[in-house]
Chains A and B, each alone.
Chain A
Amino acid sequence: MNGEARVGDEGTTPEAAFAANGLGRRYRRRWALRDCAFAIPAGAVCGLVGPNGSGKSTLLTLGAGLRQPTAGEVRVHGLRPGLDPELRERIGFVAQDKPLYPRLTVAETLRFGRELNPRWDQELALQVVQQGRLPLTTRVGELSGGQRTRVALALALGKRPDVLLLDEPMSDLDPLSRHQLMGTLMGQAAEHGTTVVISTHILSELDGVIDHLLLVDGGQVRLAGPVEEILGAHLLLDGAEGLPLEPHTVLEVRHTGRGVSALVRPDGPVAEGWRAESPDLEQLLLAYLRSPEAAPLNTTVPSTPLEVAA
């Protein structure tokens, strides 16, 4: 951190759209999240990655205000989700199973959104639905899983939120729909400055799309920060067996038939003999997921406690 200004630092950088400090959530005796701290700036498109059961859905649920933290705090634009009423219309959330009312038609589902949201954008919601050629008079229960996902996303986008939290939104979409909807999401982020947090298992889906990354594993944040900064902090080294890796922080070492491949966080010059290159996002994430003991890197931790917005 080195005293640099960070997202969430009071008065120095843009306001953190989605931030946590010491965040923990326990279900009975099991901690789903523990001691999480991060800050995602407004307008960022953040990928939330982690293995099954790592706490991604819990984190998004806390961000949407559907649950409250057991420890620490979570803030969206400085306000407490679920507790500060003025925040309700500023957060959009799509749950992993995309719950909808099956007996309502598509048109009625959009009316549901219009009736319950004062900032409703009917044109945008209609556009998302019509992009998938969904008949408005069809009952939601008669749609395929992918089509229901599209309706759920139309509901979330039509709300015109400032922060959009999507829990594995693309998992049951065909490639074309995925491409279309990702484009629409990016368009919203670019046009309205919407902060988008997408959790996903499809790592390739994130490449070139996200500008921030949050890797959660075992209920704790292991990577957090701008993608370029995180990628820039790592090197992928290839070389012969026995080459020195000190004084770097070694995250993963893989022995191949021809030598050694290592992912490191460099701390000083790389020893002669290593071929060094920047890892791509997928390589980096897979390395961290394969190495649960690797040291975390969080470039977003606020240097001051989060302030409650007045």
Chain B
Amino acid sequence: MSSAVLATRETSAAPRSGLRPRGVTWLTWRQTRAALLVVTLGYAAALAYLLYQHHQFDVTTVRLRGLHCSTDTRDPVSVITANCNLAALAVMQAASGVHRLATVALAAPGLLGAVLAAQPLAVDLERGRHRLLWSQSVSPRRWFTQRMLLPAAILLVLSAVLSVALRWAVLWTHPALPIEDWSFDNASDALAPVYPLLTLAAFALGAVVGLLLHRVIAALGITLALYGVLLYGMAQVRPYLVPLHRKVVGPGDPWPSGDWVYDSGPVVHGKDFSYSACPVATGCDKEPSWILYHPLSQFGPMLWVETGMLAALTAGLVALAYRRLLALTR
């Protein structure tokens, strides 16, 4: 047996200066840079679409107001009506474009949690590459932390930028978008501060599923399914996050404008009933109505309560992920 004895050499660990990514961060960057670039471009495109739609909303609103549809004009009535309808339609289209963007943006955290957290962890465990990683000079805990930190930080920044821009477009600009479309709606979860925490929660969910399942396809599917369950659950608990208000509205009186009416029914002989109890022939048109509702002023606090819940969920999932990681090395 010949021995290829090599001369003594100095060790040459990676240099530790400069801002370039090092250690596990370098590996994470190398493995996810293409995906992170696509995600960044996606968020940038969403932001550009939002700004464009908001600009369209401004322009069409000014045009609608310029038509003075509710005032006298020397134009023939048919022309006024047509112009007003078209201008109003353009305003609505611009507003609904923003709403649609928010609804679509809600799907992104689940997808990103599946692709950027569940998939890479599951594939490393499925193909035994965790043994390669954990037999280097970094601990599994440090590897996992740094492996997750870079994409999580980038997603946090991107989701925060988009959600703040959405909130600006919906609540903070003049003219503002019609808030009735947003308040207490599912799409409101795409607003800051809920959306960044929703993104982190979905990412942590993906990490836990990836560590638990060790199967790529299953991890992707389960993460998406659980994210759907999360969104559904949030929609179910949303009415109870802040106390409901109750009031009685007389027949013909206007109902609260911009508020979220959660439930209502007729008041008959001083008692609350549901509308299904009204006689088919006469109905309850002449009876006052009871209303359970959230006033518009509760919209902001409700978003913060949702954010707190998601922060707690994220912390729980992160703790679960570290616990699972520990179990994998025992």
Contact residues of A with B, CB < 8 Å? Answer: 61, 64-68, 82, 85, 88-89, 91-93, 95, 97, 99-101, 103-104, 108, 111-124, 127, 131, 152, 155-156, 159-160, 179-180, 182-184, 186-188, 190-191, 208-209
Contact = CB atoms under 8 A, between A and B. Distances in A.
A113 B136 CA distance: 8
Contacts of A117: 13, 136-137
A183 B3 contact: yes
Given A66-B134, A66-B329, 20 more contacts: A64-B131, A65-B329, A93-B131, A99-B127, A99-B128, A99-B129, A115-B24, A115-B26, A116-B133, A117-B13, A118-B11, A118-B137, A119-B13, A120-B11, A152-B132, A159-B137, A187-B4, A187-B5, A188-B6, A191-B5
B8 A191 contact: yes
Interface in B20-66: 22-24, 26-27, 30-31
A122 B3 contact: no
B9 A124 contact: yes
22 contacts: A65-B134, A66-B135, A67-B330, A68-B329, A82-B329, A88-B137, A88-B139, A93-B135, A95-B131, A99-B128, A99-B132, A111-B14, A111-B26, A112-B27, A115-B26, A116-B133, A118-B11, A155-B132, A159-B137, A184-B4, A187-B6, A209-B1
Interface string B108-128: 000000000000000000011
A120 B13 contact: yes
B138 A123 contact: no
B276 interface: no
A85 B135 contact: no
B257 interface: no
Among B12, B24, B134, B136, the one with the most A-chain Cβ atoms within 10 Å of its Cβ is: B136
A304 to B, nearest CB: 27
B2 interface: yes
A183 B12 contact: no
Contact of A95 (B3, B14, B128, B330): B128
Contacts of A103: 31
B172 to A, nearest CB: 44
A104 B23 CA distance: 15
B13 to A, nearest CB: 5
B12 A122 contact: yes
A120 B14 contact: yes
Contacts of B8: 191
A62 to B, nearest CB: 11
B119 to A, nearest CB: 14
B129 A101 contact: yes
Nearest to A85: B139
B138 A116 contact: yes
CB-CB nearest 5 A-B residue pairs: A187-B5, A116-B136, A89-B137, A93-B135, A99-B128
Contacts of B11: 118-121, 160
Interface string B303-330: 0000000000000000000000000011
A255 B9 CA distance: 56
Contacts, number: 118
B16 to A, nearest CB: 9
A85 B30 CA distance: 26
B1 A127 contact: no
Nearest to A97: B128
Contacts of A123: 6, 9, 12
Given A68-B330, A91-B135, A159-B137, A116 B24 contact: yes
Contact of B2 (A61, A95, A179): A179
A66 B4 contact: no
Given A114-B12, A116-B137, A123-B12, A95 B1 contact: no
Given A115-B23, A183-B2, A159 B128 contact: no
A188 B9 CA distance: 12
Nearest to A119: B11
A121 to B, nearest CB: 5
A128 to B, nearest CB: 9
Contacts of B5: 186-187, 190-191
A91 B137 CA distance: 8
Contact of A159 (B31, B131, B136): B136
Contacts of B329: 65-68, 82
Contacts of B139: 85, 88
A67 B139 CA distance: 13
A88 B329 CA distance: 14
A124 to B, nearest CB: 6
Given A124-B6, A179-B1, A88 B138 contact: yes
Contacts of B136: 88, 113, 116-117, 159
Among B31, B135, B329, the one with the most A-chain Cβ atoms within 10 Å of its Cβ is: B135
Contacts of B135: 64-66, 91-93, 95, 156
Contacts of A88: 136-139
A101 B2 CA distance: 31
A208 B3 CA distance: 12
Contact of B3 (A115, A124, A187): A187
Contacts of A119: 11, 13, 137
B135 to A, nearest CB: 4
A101 B31 contact: yes
Interface string B130-154: 0111111111000000000000000
A236 B215 CA distance: 52
Nearest to B8: A191
A100 B254 CA distance: 69
Given A120-B12, A122-B12, A104 B4 contact: no
Contact of B1 (A122, A156, A188, A208): A208
